[in-house]
Amino acid sequence: MTDLPAARPARPFFSSGPCAKPPGWSADRLATESLGRSHRSKIGKARLKRAIDLTRKILKVPDTHLIGIVPGSDTGAVEMAMWSLLGARKTTLLAWESFGEGWVTDAVKQLKIDADVVKAPYGELPDLTRVDQNTDVIFTWNGTTSGVRVPNGDWIRDDRQGLMFADATSAVFAMEMPWDKLDVVTYSWQKVLGGEGGHGVLILGPRAVERLESYTPAWPLPKIFRMTKGGKLIKGIFEGETINTPSMLAVEDYIYALEWAETLGGLSGLIARSEANAAALDRWVRATDWIDHLAVDPASRSTTSVCLKFADHAVEGLDDDAQLALVKKMASLLEGEKAAYDVAGYRDAPPGIRIWCGATVDTSDIEALGPWLDWAWRQARTA
């Protein structure tokens, strides 16, 4: 094709999950001693414990909180927490994107608990100051499909009566977590660290542990959700004894990413890379007349899963189906030129582009991406 930009991103991996591997990653750099061994062997337990200990170190998780590797990615971790902890008191569910909507469905339609649902449209946050914190509260820290995040934890009260659940899967390792204000935190390492899918991490504060040991849900719990036995926490889950068989290859991949994070200076280095990427993309957005941020308020705009929409004047007269067709055409053109992979917005979100700006992406690749997005827009509009 003619009119191609001069330079391609060196690593055109902009998917919002699974995300780009750390720079310099290759499979032959992974430790292999645990592969082909039982996860319950001495080396298997040691490597799982290594992953937990490094997680605590990088994320600065206090000793008051427990860290467990669980099945089913972030979804499994959230479901495990919901099924085990909800129902003791009323619940408030906050939803401003598709994953938050998913937790609403599971709590209200599946568990059928007493719940209030507080929603905001894509691109916005609800009024967090009005959340009833005498209830258990479930929210996504960073809306992966909307590009909207909570800016901080200042709205969470120290004297809250309910538990605070944060689905932080595309926030953790790229944003500060106020651990003293969070009772349950979940994520998948396939996001900011670019790990493999299938495993989740569940972090429990002391108030969540107290709930587990003092409350029995009204519904039966599947084996992979059970965290107590005889009314006491199964502590081994949080010491490397997983509930079911993990992929030790995925564990080694996670350890590699954590060790890479250490070379950056830990959490501060990861956050700096994500923020630099988001700033570079924002500079292109502000200089481009056909695109805009989906997130309305810059203070609550994601620095990882940056969601973009077409400017109103650029798609005047085009309905959502026509805009979706534009998105698909652009994504196909970019993939065909090996300039960007997996940049179409999430299927339930408004039509647009989604660019992952997490720490494993290089800022130089974000800067190289802008001209390619402009090229794809021109090509798609004239096709």
First and final C-alpha spacing in the chain: 12
Q: CA 230, CA 316: separation in Å to the nearest integer?
A: 62
Q: Are strands 164-167 and 184-188 parallel, antiparallel or unpaired?
A: parallel
Q: Where are the domains of the chain?
A: 33-262, 266-382
Q: What pLDDT is recorded for position 364?
A: 98
Q: Which pLDDT score is estimated for 3? A: 85
pLDDT at 293: 98
Q: Is 132 exposed, middle or buried (0-12, 13-18, 19+ CB in 10 A)?
A: middle
Q: Which residues of the chain have pLDDT under 50?
A: none
The answer to whether the CB of 134 falls within 8 A of the CB of 160 is: yes
Cβ proximity of 89 and 135 under 8 Å:
yes
In angstroms, rounded to a whole number, what is the distance separating the alpha carbons of residues 376 and 14?
Answer: 15
Cis before 121? omega within 30: no
The alpha helices in 137-233, defined as continuous H runs, are 206-214
Rg (CA), the chain: 21
Q: Which two tokens stand for residue 354?
A: 């989604």
pLDDT score of 194:
98
- Nearest residue to 19 via CA among 166, 187, 167, 155: 187
| Full-model pTM | 0.97
So what's the pLDDT on residue 383? Answer: 74
Given this model, what pLDDT does residue 41 score? 95
Question: Is CATH 3.40.47.10 the classification given to domain 266-382?
Answer: no
Q: What is the fold, at CATH topology level, of the domain defined by 33-262?
A: Aspartate Aminotransferase; domain 2 (3.40.640)
